[in-house]
Amino acid sequence: MTPDSTGASGEPAPGWWIYRGTGQVLDTEERERRWPAPPRWRTFDGGPDEPAPPSDAKDLERRLGTVVVSERVDIHEVDMINAAVYLRRPLLVTGRPGSGKSTLAYRIARELQLGRVLRWPITTRSTLQAGLYEYDAIGRVHAASRHRAGRPAAEGAADRSDAEAEIGDFLHLGPLGTALLPYRMPRVLLIDEIDKGDVDLPNDLLNVFEEGEFELRELMRSAARVPEVVVHTADPAGTATIRHGRVRCHEFPIVVMTSNGEREFPAPFLRRCLHLRVPEPDAGKLAAMVAAHFPDEQLADAREIIRAYLERRDRLDGLAADQLLNAFQLRMAGAFTTTDEESLRRLIEAIWHRLSPIGAE
């Protein structure tokens, strides 16, 4: 078996793999039969189970293209993804911008049929609180004022418990909070570009990652009177029932955190993660990506376009994979041919530009 492939050599994939990285969707019955038990120190008892999450086939196809089954996989990549599944640990994925780090989360969700990917894009303003949940206190005050204005004083006082129960209308779980709900199978959570967040964010995540739970302070205060509250989730039109003001997972989510290597992370954070460095895609992976997004097209000059892309990527010290797709989209519109060298040169310079700020070159 070669370092970069399996199956093509005739050798079977390792028996412990549940995610195989081939793109072939795993049957749900086989998935559940083979799903590994967690380590004792990563077992969580959240429940009762939430309904299965929605699927989003259209979003998966938009991001990944159609399903293209391949026998050529990156063994180290698949090893690390399976290790994260077995150990219930977050996967920190590093690599150059545009190398396909974020797509790992969508490939895992599609191949293992784990439903819609929850995405948390990190910015300099991102906080752990926002990832867990948000409470619209002002909106609730305004709603309560309108509610009282329409009722007699005595009747409004008697309706106090109902007003407290309606607090769920103003609580919205974030992507991380939704991923920690007690689903029977894990959700896939993409924490995108974590190195762009506040320097304290990785440390803030540690306790949540270790305990697999969090409290909603606004519900804890009235948990004795209102033990169950329905709140909104990060899924479209999604809701969940929170019991006793606490969310605790049943299956720890498959957490994919991407980083462009712009920051060093603290040792306690790294100790709780598995680290995967994604190399830039080679000609074979690029060809598979093109075939997935242009499945019905006969691209006779695909190899020449990919070769030109790789040469320019090496010369500029980096290009994003989606910049290659841009070229093929324009090629299908008749924008250029590989035999028209001048038009090809102009187009390459326009769409395959260096990944640096305008004016910095």
What's the rounded mean pLDDT across residues 322-351?
Answer: 77
Task: Identify the pLDDT of residue 351.
Answer: 83
Task: Identify the pLDDT of residue 157.
Answer: 43
Q: Which band of pLDDT confidence, cut at 50, 70 and 90, is reported for residue 218?
A: very high
What's the rounded mean pLDDT across residues 116-143?
Answer: 93
Q: Which residue has the tokens 């196809």?
A: 61
Pinpoint the alpha helices (H) of the chain: 28-34, 57-64, 75-87, 103-112, 128-132, 137-149, 153-158, 160-165, 175-179, 201-211, 217-220, 267-271, 283-293, 302-316, 321-332, 341-351
Q: Give residue-wise pLDDT tens across range 133-158.
A: 999 988 888 887 776 666 654 444 44
Average pLDDT, the chain: 86
- The DSSP bridge pattern shows strands 254-259 and 246-248 to be unpaired
Task: Identify the pLDDT of residue 150.
Answer: 65
Task: Identify the pLDDT of residue 361.
Answer: 41
Task: Identify the pLDDT of residue 161.
Answer: 46
Res. 263: pLDDT tops 60: yes
Q: Which band of pLDDT confidence, cut at 50, 70 and 90, is reported for residue 265?
A: very high
Task: Please state which of the ranges 7-21, 246-260, 274-288 shows the lowest mean pLDDT.
Answer: 7-21
Hey, what CATH topology would domain 28-131+171-277 get?
Rossmann fold (3.40.50)
Q: Give residue-wise pLDDT tens across range 46-77.
A: 888 899 999 999 999 999 998 878 778 899 99
- Give me Rg for the CA atoms of the chain: 24
